[in-house]
Amino acid sequence: MSATVELLICVKCRKGTEPPADERRPGQRLFDEIAACEIPEGVTVSAVECLQNCDAGCTVAMRGDGRWTYVYGGIDEDSQAGMLLGGTALYRAAPDGLIPWRSRPEHFKRNCVARIPPPTPSPSQHKGGSE
Amino acid sequence: MSATVELLICVKCRKGTEPPADERRPGQRLFDEIAACEIPEGVTVSAVECLQNCDAGCTVAMRGDGRWTYVYGGIDEDSQAGMLLGGTALYRAAPDGLIPWRSRPEHFKRNCVARIPPPTPSPSQHKGGSE
């Protein structure tokens, strides 16, 4: 299994708070927690700017070739780094990115913000212009 | 300008209702409304399965090479097909997909569900395994 999937962490997340300027934001803390863990094989963790899901707490996205992209919110920066990395490994193990329901982390079941299909052409398409 | 961007419409959206089996779902009606419009040059409209933003009404996503992917909810299937297509044309006109705030449709300003950055490698990455 050689595919690489990417876990994107919004490091700008403030979780609705106004942390002092010298304090790490919750999103940055989540990223730092994860960076301190052992990253599963084939997983790349990236710090990103705002994912614009600011009302739902720490937010991450997962993506990979041929897979649905998933956005999850409500991540607890102090306790869920391991769950996230384990979930990302399961995501990588699923060729289309759809983790079987039974093995899907409970947090993923209840905190999916949105998902976006892989770029497979759909049979129902309407195109504009003549290009 | 030869880039093609894609507008994905969730045709499974029920907007929290239980429409009779013989009735088109709101998401399908939105797709049909859009398909009946003139599609802007360089825009492809695709019908997709559930984008899992079911609590926020009709949902669409926009994506294109090198661009941020955006997910918008709360689309009114009867009145916003034109706004959506105009917005998608503006999205295409922005090389990174970031429509300047002033020209951004009001609906986009208030109903962004999430966005995902283009796959440019970030300077802050942590990789797992030895692949």
Q: Inter-chain contact B45–A2, Cβ cutoff 8 Å?
A: no
- Given an 8 Å threshold on Cβ–Cβ distance, is A114 in contact with B61? yes
Counting every residue written for chain B, the total comes to: 131
Distance CA B90, CA B66 (A): 15
Rounded (10°) CA dihedral B117, B123, B124, B125: 80
Rounded to whole angstroms, the Cα distance separating B26 from B16 reads: 10
Round to whole Å and give the CA distance between B4 and A111: 32
* DSSP one-letter code for A22: T
Q: Does A40 touch chain B if contact means CB atoms closer than 8 Å?
A: yes
Calculated CA dihedral for residues B38, B41, B42, B44, nearest 10 degrees: 10
Query: Chain B 9-28, CB below 8 Å of chain A: which residues?
Result: 11
- pLDDT at res. A131: 46
CB contact under 8 A, A46 and B124: yes
* ipTM score of complex: 0.84
A102 touching B, CB under 8 A? no
Distance CA A15, CA A76 (A): 10
pLDDT of residue B126: 75
For B21-65, how does the pLDDT look when each residue is reduced to its tens digit (9 = 90+)?
777 888 999 999 999 999 999 999 999 988 887 777 899 999 999
Q: Is B103 on the interface with A (CB under 8 A)?
A: no
The set of residues, in sequence order, having a beta carbon less than 8 Å from that of A102 and lying 6+ positions away, is none
Model pLDDT for residues B63-72, shown as the tens digit of each residue: 999 999 999 9
Domains of chain B, CATH where assigned: 5-121 (3.40.30)
pTM of the model: 0.88
Closest CB from B112, B124, B128 relative to A40: B128
Do A125 and B61 count as a contact with CB atoms less than 8 A apart? no
A-B Cβ pairs (cutoff 8 Å, strict): 133
Using CA of residue B38, residue B44, residue B47, residue B53, what is the dihedral sign? negative
The low-confidence residues of chain A, meaning pLDDT below 50, are: 131
